[in-house]
């Protein structure tokens, strides 16, 4: 078995159908299996997958276990030399999976390989970035990376200076399409469920790197990633979780003095955006959404300053671990 394609989904039946269809139509010349983990969907996703794609192996959870635990469930039973973490809101193009396997086979030093990711309109979606750090959170908070996108310093976190047009070593590959060598997983271990959702990709890539493996990008393969389709259903909680996951990384992997500074810069991220959304609520058309976003920023900033774990969706499970 060359690759085990793992798809985790929650209440996105139509997107899941399109994703699975693209996998089977656009994957040739390799031996593969598809493992779909359903996180307690209520929209008929499981029934659709079983009926329309009978060869797919389905793991049905009775509750939403989160992205990381669900992927780990599939990795445990995967038979492939590689596992491909593939978001349910993606469409595979032009035999991308087989091409990625070929690239990975040619680079045995790589634990993780990512491909070129496109938006719905086929514009570039940046899917490689640097590890979370105080400097990177500050630059993100102040929008300096948008003011100076061509700067290797100000655009460092999202690599805004790079056109994603050449193979190269990177620090992190986004988990929307991430092919991981099974041998490397056996050495380093699976994803850390502390993160629940978000943050798993930089943590995993960091651990691979520490063990001597490389993380690589190739522009020779492409997919479309719609983005945010799972998280849109609980936008406020997922916004907090996204920023909170970066704080988890710095709590686990950075020096002790970095964490309080990161909390301050993350609070700054929220507070700088709050006035814009408040004014949009007063003057704009989508008043309810704007005021809700302003509230998300206000409370998110307070959580960063006084009780950062309240940003996390699984804070009760995390407990005293952090």
- Whole-model pTM: value is 0.91
Q: Does some domain include residue 75?
A: yes
Q: Are 76 and 221 found together in one domain?
A: yes
Indicate the residue among 182, 200, 225 that finishes a domain.
225
CA–CA separation, 36 and 8 (whole Å): 6
Q: Does some domain include residue 158?
A: no
pLDDT digit string, tens, across residues 181-221: 999 999 999 999 898 888 889 999 999 999 999 999 999 99
Indicate the residue among 225, 252, 270 that finishes a domain.
225
- Provide CB contacts within 8 A for 180, sequence distance 6+: 82, 83, 84, 85, 111, 112, 204
pLDDT digit string, tens, across residues 31-42: 999 999 999 999
CATH at 176: 3.90.550.10
Q: Are 207 and 63 found together in one domain?
A: yes
Q: Does some domain include residue 271?
A: yes
pLDDT digit string, tens, across residues 22-71: 999 999 999 999 999 999 999 999 999 999 999 999 999 998 888 899 99
Domain count, the chain: 2
Segment 117-131 mean pLDDT: 93
Whole-number average pLDDT of the chain:
92
Indicate if the pLDDT at residue 1 is higher than 80: yes
Length of the chain: 322
Q: Are 8 and 113 found together in one domain?
A: yes
Q: Which domain holds residue 268?
A: 231-321
Q: Are 261 and 186 found together in one domain?
A: no
Q: Does some domain include residue 140?
A: no
Q: Bigger pLDDT: 322 or 209?
A: 209
- With beta carbons less than 8 A apart as the criterion, state whether 103 and 218 touch: yes
Print burial letters for 26-63: b (CB count within 10 Å at least 16), e (below 16): bbeebebbbbbbbbebeeebbebbeeebeebbbbebee
Q: Are 172 and 252 found together in one domain?
A: no
CA–CA separation, 193 and 73 (whole Å): 11
Q: Are 195 and 243 found together in one domain?
A: no
C-alpha count within 13 angstroms, C-beta hemisphere, residue 10: 19
Q: Does some domain include residue 71?
A: yes
CA–CA separation, 130 and 143 (whole Å): 16
Indicate if the pLDDT at residue 227 is higher than 80: no
User: Which residue shows structure tokens 């790589």?
Assistant: 110
Q: Does some domain include residue 240?
A: yes
- Nearest 5°: phi and psi at 83? -115, 135
Indicate the residue among 225, 244, 269 that finishes a domain.
225
Reported as a pLDDT band with limits 50, 70 and 90, residue 145 is: confident
Q: Are 190 and 310 found together in one domain?
A: no
Q: Are 172 and 52 found together in one domain?
A: yes
Q: Are 80 and 13 found together in one domain?
A: yes
């Amino acid at each position: 078995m060359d690759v085990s394609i793992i798809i985790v989904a929650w209440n996105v039946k139509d997107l899941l159908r399109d994703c699975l269809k693209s996998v089977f139509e656009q994957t040739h010349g390799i031996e593969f299996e598809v493992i779909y983990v359903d996180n307690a969907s209520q929209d008929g996703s499981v029934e659709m997958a079983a009926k329309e794609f009978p060869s797919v192996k389905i793991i049905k959870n009775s509750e939403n276990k989160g992205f990381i635990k669900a992927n780990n469930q599939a990795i445990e039973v995967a038979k492939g030399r590689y596992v491909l973490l593939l978001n349910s809101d993606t469409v595979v193009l032009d035999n991308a999976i087989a091409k990625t396997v070929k690239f990975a086979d040619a680079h045995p030093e790589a634990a993780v390989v990512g491909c070129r990711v496109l938006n719905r309109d086929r514009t570039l979606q940046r899917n490689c970035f640097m590890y979370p750090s105080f400097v990177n959170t500050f630059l993100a908070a102040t929008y300096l990376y948008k003011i100076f996108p061509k700067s290797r310093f100000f655009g460092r976190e999202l690599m805004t200076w790079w056109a994603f047009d050449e193979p190269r070593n990177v620090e992190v590959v986004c988990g929307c399409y991430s092919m991981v060598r099974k041998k490397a997983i056996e050495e380093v271990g699976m994803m850390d469920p502390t993160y629940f959702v978000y943050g798993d990709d930089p943590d995993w890539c960091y651990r691979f790197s520490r063990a001597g493996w490389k993380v690589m990008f190739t522009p020779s393969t492409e997919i479309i990633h719609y983005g945010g389709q799972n998280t849109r259903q609980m936008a406020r909680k997922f916004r907090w979780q996204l920023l909170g996951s970066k704080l988890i990384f710095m709590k686990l992997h950075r020096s002790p003095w970095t964490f309080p500074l990161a909390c301050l810069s993350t609070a700054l991220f929220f507070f700088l955006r709050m006035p814009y959304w408040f004014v949009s609520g007063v003057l704009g058309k989508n008043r309810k959404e704007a005021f809700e976003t302003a509230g998300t920023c206000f409370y998110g900033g307070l959580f960063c300053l006084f009780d950062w774990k309240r940003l996390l969706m699984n804070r009760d499970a995390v407990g005293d671990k952090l």
